[in-house]
Amino acid sequence: MSGVPPTGASSQASRGSKRKWVPEEDATLVSCMVDLHNVGTFNADTGFKAGYLNELEKMLEKALPRAMLKAKPNIESRIRCLKREWSVVYDMLNGQNNSGFGWDEHRQLVVAEDAVWESYVKSHKEASQFRHRSFPYYNQLIAIYARDRATGKDAQTAADVLEEIHAEDERTTDMNEERNTFYDCEADVSLDDMDVSGTDPRGDRDQGGCHFVGEKIQTVGDQISRTMASEVVVQQKSEEKMEEKASNLYSALWSIEGLTDDQWYDALSKIPDHSTQMIVFFSLPSIARLEWVKRFLSHH
């Protein structure tokens, strides 16, 4: 009947990517992303490769059957938004000359002196939204996107540098061919008319080419070293965060009202064995943790 607003799945489809996500849906989406990344089937240097959205749709259909979330546009647009926000926070905490920023693990937000904020937002307006706003999924998304962000911002990939070398080699070859053409044109000049006492110019060219290639090889080595160093730093930070969370688990579980002694001890002994689930636990608001722990224990 005309004039009647669409309901159910049709209503959601009409809203498209404008759908408003609630905290439980965000937390579940990120949890599924981490689980999918840990499996590794759809992993890529930039996060995930083609086909991962359909897999996430299946996972979310099981975890949130009433949400009716679709790969496109719902999940795709939400992940794009989360990655964009995560990148802003990551750049504040890991960018060059950004030592004034810190991370409050308890409140899950970026902290800094007012002067640091005011100076930074002048050139990074997108960061102003996080001055008093938490971003509880920062640590989970590090494992998925940090490598891409670190190498993409601060260094070329080895493939990029090798491509440059290939292009430069082609230019050098063209120059040598032009020079060889010149020498061929002058080949009918008598050796008696030429001064051959100096250094063979071809030797200079060969040395110059070797020097150039040597510099480029050194550049490749430097870039690969920077990439490896970035990955090591990310891994170290991730391990430090997990150790910190494990040490806070006792008090976090103790503060949950409604857990029996058996549930409390079981959770304390089992959650640390599942790093991804521990990250999800700490990302949840206090009011949601009781139900989450009960569900976790029912599956572990």
Tell me the pLDDT of the chain (300 aa) as tens digits.
444 444 444 444 434 446 889 999 999 999 999 999 888 888 887 788 888 999 999 999 999 988 899 999 899 999 999 999 999 999 998 877 677 899 898 999 999 999 999 999 999 999 999 999 999 999 889 888 877 676 554 443 344 444 444 544 444 444 444 444 443 443 444 444 444 444 444 455 455 555 555 665 666 566 555 555 555 555 555 566 667 777 788 888 988 989 998 898 899 889 988 877 888 888 787 888 898 899 889 888
pTM, entire model:
0.49
DSSP string of 38-106, one letter each residue: HH-TTEETTEE-TTHHHHHHHHHHHH-TTT---IIIIIHHHHHHHHHHHHHHHHHHHSTT-TT-EEETT
